[in-house]
Amino acid sequence: MTQRVLLRPIGLSRLLAPTQRHCRPFSTVLDTPVHATAQPAPPPPSSTPPAAFHDAVQATAPRNNWTRDEVADIYNTPLIELTYAAATVHRRFHSPAAIQMCTLMNIKTGGCSEDCSYCAQSSRYDTGLKATKMVNVESVLEAARIAKANGSSRFCMGAAWRDMRGRKTNLRNVKEMVKGVRALGMEACVTLGMIDAEQAKELKTAGLTAYNHNLDTSREHYPSVITTRTYDERLATIKNVRDAGINVCTGGILGLGEKSKDHVGLIHTVATLPSHPESFPVNALVPIKGTPLGESQAISFDAVLRTIATARLVLPATIIRLAAGRHTMREEKQMMCFMAGANAVFTGEKMLTTACNGWEEDKAMFDKWGLRPMESHETLQGQEEAVEKAEVDSSLPEAPGSGTQPASLTV
Ligand code: SAM
Ligand code: DTB
Ligand code: SF4
């Protein structure tokens, strides 16, 4: 088999005018704030891509022994190279046109005891949100039918709870919702706060496809955002979900006042779990008035793109979900995210309490750009399928324009 080398940094210096040659093709550790205003100073020169970047680009299977420095090296690669590499790996493991469409429903709004400083549903902040009781099973199934009719293959139900302790009746109802959604031929996901091993098994028995429980940010930044439950408690729930045989959906929020090293920390944590999550949501903070983060400055788009591309490179078989905050992005920005490896969205009337891109808007975007809704069997076969695709693709001779690995990058 031919040896493929993605990057030829020497070539770049040939393309530059002599006055520009002090620019180096590879950067950087940008440990500056990730908001729009701060522009980092140019990094010190270097001439070869980091080994980790090279390894990630060659991958035909996920690995979970990344060091944090390796993830940082990848994250800090110049965006033009990083996104191209991510797109290349994306095509090896996934069909680049297929985007999973998931619709959210808030099944229990507000009144939550936790102090998550971004959340509209915490009872500690005056956000103007009215707390409600849990909705009934039939209203959930009606919403799921509408979502399915509009092309969503996955239905995700969220509840404003810290955990499921002492919620036997609630759990019984959630299980009925899960069974009903599965009976419609859709994937069912829930996000109910922390769950123990027994509750995870019950949800598995009901047919639950995936459980969403976000780590939100790096271990170091986490205590500045939430104090009422720990990072390790989050990891324990993720382990309970995994051990029960349910797909894991865990990711984060960008724009919580963190630095780029916290994006690296979050990605490193999920990339070194015993097995990678099947789904990694990337939320951009939707600032909620009345919360401690309600006046936060928007995360810069390049940080969103860098996070998605890095996640694609170190979690090659995972579905990367462009989640909250997408409705603030113009179509072109969304497309850059899809090109860099994002392959799922939330779509429909609403997120949990905030706005969502609607089905019609998404259909128009999909038609314009040649995207298509991912089918359930593509997600349910999940990571194994993606790895098989990568193995087959990397053993095939390259056809010009096949898109798996750009011909100009093969030596
Ligand atoms: N109460 C459960 C929990 O926290 O585990 C489930 C619901 S919670 C709202 C689901 C996730 O939504 C959070 O972990 C967070 O990542 C995301 N989220 C909540 N509010 C957000 C906001 N204002 N902007 C962006 N993401 C947000
Ligand atoms: C995830 O990572 N993002 C979704 C889903 N998982 C449950 C929730 C986003 C919520 C955005 C804020 C709101 O609507 O309240
Ligand atoms: Fe409660 Fe979840 Fe909101 Fe935190 S994110 S306050 S646990 S609903």
Ligand 2 atom closest to the Cα of residue 346 is 4
The confidence score (pLDDT) of residue 274 equals 97
The yes-or-no verdict on residue 37 having pLDDT over 90 is: no
Spell out which residues line ligand 1, taking CB within 6 angstroms.
118-119, 158, 160-161, 191, 193, 213-214, 216, 253, 283, 285-286, 288, 324, 352
Top-confidence residue, 25 or 39: 39
Based on the residue annotation, tell me whether 356 is a catalytic residue of this protein.
no
How many angstroms separate the first and last alpha carbons of the chain?
Answer: 11
In short, whether 191's Cβ falls inside 6 Å of ligand 2 is yes
Q: What is the mean pLDDT of the chain?
A: 87
> What DSSP line would sit under 56-73, residue for residue?
HHH-SS------HHHHHH
Pocket test for ligand 2, best of 212, 234, 326, 345 (most atoms within 8 A of CB): 212
For residue 374, which amino acid is it? M
> How far is residue 271's CA from residue 337's CA, in Å, rounded to a whole number?
20
Distance (angstroms) between ligand 2 centre and the Cα of 316 equals 23
The yes-or-no verdict on residue 8 having pLDDT over 60 is: no
Query: In the structure, what pLDDT confidence band is assigned to residue 50 with cuts at 50, 70 and 90?
Result: confident
Could you tell me if 290 and 283 are in contact, meaning their C-beta atoms sit under 8 angstroms apart? no
Our measurement of the distance from residue 146's CA atom to the centroid of its chain's CA atoms, rounded to an integer in Å, reads: 25
The yes-or-no verdict on residue 403 having pLDDT over 60 is: no
Q: What is the pLDDT of residues 137-185, one digit of tens each?
A: 999 999 999 999 999 999 999 999 999 999 999 999 999 999 999 999 9
Could you tell me if 8 and 408 are in contact, meaning their C-beta atoms sit under 8 angstroms apart? no
Which ligand has an atom closest to residue 194 CA?
1
Distance (angstroms) between ligand 2 centre and the Cα of 354 equals 8
Q: Quick one: residue 156, left, alpha or beta (phi over 0 = left, psi -120 to 50 = alpha)?
A: beta
> Which stretch of 2-11, 236-245, 297-306, 365-374 has the lowest confidence by average pLDDT?
2-11
Q: What is the pLDDT of residues 63-100, one digit of tens each?
A: 999 999 999 999 999 999 999 999 999 999 999 999 99
What lies within 8 Å, CB to CB, of 189 at 6+ separation is: 102, 154, 155, 156, 157, 208, 209, 210, 211, 212, 249
The confidence score (pLDDT) of residue 1 equals 35
pTM of structure: 0.87
The confidence score (pLDDT) of residue 357 equals 97
> What DSSP line would sit under 268-291, residue for residue?
HHHHTSSS--SEEEEEEP---TTS
In short, whether 282's Cβ falls inside 6 Å of ligand 2 is no
The confidence score (pLDDT) of residue 42 equals 46
Q: What is the pLDDT of residues 302-318, one digit of tens each?
A: 999 999 999 999 999 99
Domains and CATH numbers, the chain: 92-375 (3.20.20.70)
Both structure tokens of 42 = 């140019």
Handedness of CA 335, 336, 341, 345 (dihedral sign): negative
Top-confidence residue, 332 or 20: 332
Which residue lies with its CA nearest to atom 14 of ligand 1? Answer: 214
Nearest of 80, 130, 139 to residue 107 by alpha carbon = 139
Could you tell me if 218 and 254 are in contact, meaning their C-beta atoms sit under 8 angstroms apart? no
> What DSSP line would sit under 115-130, residue for residue?
--TT-TTBTTS---PP
Pocket test for ligand 3, best of 125, 162, 170, 191 (most atoms within 8 A of CB): 162
Based on the residue annotation, tell me whether 156 is a catalytic residue of this protein.
yes
Strands 252-254 and 187-191: unpaired
Our measurement of the distance from residue 80's CA atom to the centroid of its chain's CA atoms, rounded to an integer in Å, reads: 20
The confidence score (pLDDT) of residue 35 equals 55
Based on the residue annotation, tell me whether 4 is a catalytic residue of this protein.
no
Both structure tokens of 263 = 């994006």
Residues 253-282, mean pLDDT to the nearest whole number: 98
> How far is residue 335's CA from residue 330's CA, in Å, rounded to a whole number?
9
Our measurement of the distance from residue 96's CA atom to the centroid of its chain's CA atoms, rounded to an integer in Å, reads: 16
The yes-or-no verdict on residue 361 having pLDDT over 70 is: yes
Q: What is the pLDDT of residues 207-238, one digit of tens each?
A: 999 999 999 999 999 999 999 999 999 999 99
In short, whether 351's Cβ falls inside 6 Å of ligand 2 is yes
How many residues comprise the chain? 411
The yes-or-no verdict on residue 380 having pLDDT over 90 is: no
Query: In the structure, what pLDDT confidence band is assigned to residue 15 with cuts at 50, 70 and 90?
Result: very low
> What DSSP line would sit under 192-245, residue for residue?
-SB--HHHHHHHHHHT--EEE---BS-TTTGGGT--SS-HHHHHHHHHHHHHTT
Q: Which of 189, 234, 242, 312 is catalytic?
A: 189
- Token pair 């089905």: residue: 359
Cis peptide before 404 (omega within 30 of 0): no
- Helix-then-strand count for the chain, H and E: 13, 10
The confidence score (pLDDT) of residue 289 equals 97
Residue 153: DSSP 8-state = -
Top-confidence residue, 49 or 286: 286
What lies within 8 Å, CB to CB, of 206 at 6+ separation is: 174, 175, 176, 178, 179
Nearest of 277, 339, 389, 386 to residue 88 by alpha carbon = 339
Strands 98-108 and 372-373: parallel
Query: In the structure, what pLDDT confidence band is assigned to residue 383 with cuts at 50, 70 and 90?
Result: low
How far is residue 76 from each of residues 4, 31, 181, 331, measured CA to CA in Å? 22, 9, 41, 25
> How far is residue 6's CA from residue 81's CA, in Å, rounded to a whole number?
9
Both structure tokens of 284 = 């951009």
